[in-house]
Homo-oligomer: A and B are copies of this chain.
Amino acid sequence: MKIGILGLEKLIEVQRSTGTAILIPRINVFMDFPAGKSAEHHAFHEATDKMISELLSEKITALEELCAEIIKKLLEKYAHATRAEIDMEAEYVVLRRTPASGQKTQEMYKILARAISENGNVRKMVGAEVTGMTSCPCAQEGLLERSKKMLEKKFSKKEVAAILKTVPLASHNQRNVSRLLIEVPENYSVNADELIQILENSMSSKIYEVLKREDEVSVVLESHANPNFVEDVVRKILVNVAHKYKNLPDSSVVFVKSESFESIHQHNAIAERISSLKELRREVFSA
């Protein structure tokens, strides 16, 4: 029997090297017990909340560390549990500048953290979720063929190539929400800000809360120069992770998910992948 608490919220001050971040994560806690030996929910909830409250009065340097500490305390109390999992998800604000006009913006992201205990081992993951933009490669290619055919009636092949290099061809594009979680082994650390950067660089374009017209033009240009299906976004994130985290051990697990709120459909497209860094490195560096 798995029992759990969904949607606990706590204000947490995280002492990062770059300063104190005040986060209010939404917290889920799960614990698995052998059949017939489950904890009683009221007692489980009271114990969990007490542990979290006590840990909040100590110095916290990262959400995933806090997750791991809670898991350890839970396992001390419930030694017969077969598995424990805790995950946190918090809004996170970063100051940035827009791409063309360079004006300041506040951008919103999510920081993710998770700890899982199986067979006495506590594994930690840190992650981020980013909203960006994807442009569809398929529609763009269709329009490329069509435009080429039409232009070639009036212009030389060389001219047509020049035109199509100059003019950004339409496609459909949409909001995309992607998330990346990386396992952080003991004595290693991974910075959520870097994960945000990887995610943004793997989409067709970043997006911004405010855009002057020249910024908007720049975003649309970038997006259409980088058309991506959701599976392409996942692939790019994985490649970027492989290049960025050369120091992490082979055993580290990477989880990536990308979801597009399709503008040409009412439903959504998703892609996801779970992989060890070992597997990922083999694919990326031996290709």
Contacts and interface: CB of A to CB of B under 8 A. Distances in A.
Interface of A: 1-11, 22, 24, 35-36, 38, 40-42, 45-46, 49-50, 53, 91, 93, 103-106, 108, 131, 133, 135-136, 138-139, 142-143, 146-147, 150-151, 154-155, 159, 162-164, 166-175, 205, 207-214, 216-217, 219-221, 223-224, 229-231, 234-235, 259, 261-273, 275, 279, 283
Given A35-B283, A41-B231, A219-B264, 20 more contacts: A1-B234, A5-B270, A6-B268, A9-B266, A24-B108, A35-B273, A41-B229, A42-B136, A46-B210, A53-B105, A133-B264, A136-B216, A138-B213, A139-B217, A147-B166, A147-B168, A154-B159, A175-B266, A208-B265, A216-B264
Contact of A46 (B1, B38, B211, B263): B211
Nearest to A223: B172
Report the copy number of this chain in the oligomer. Answer: 4
Is chain A's binding surface mostly helix, strand, loop or mixed?
mixed
Given A216-B264, A234-B1, A264-B219, A163 B167 contact: yes
Contacts of A207: 263-266
Nearest to A217: B142
Given A4-B271, A172-B219, A167 B151 contact: yes
A186 B39 CA distance: 37
A284 to B, nearest CB: 10
A5 to B, nearest CB: 6
A53 B104 CA distance: 8
Contacts of A169: 167-170
Contacts of A53: 104-106, 210
A175 B270 contact: no
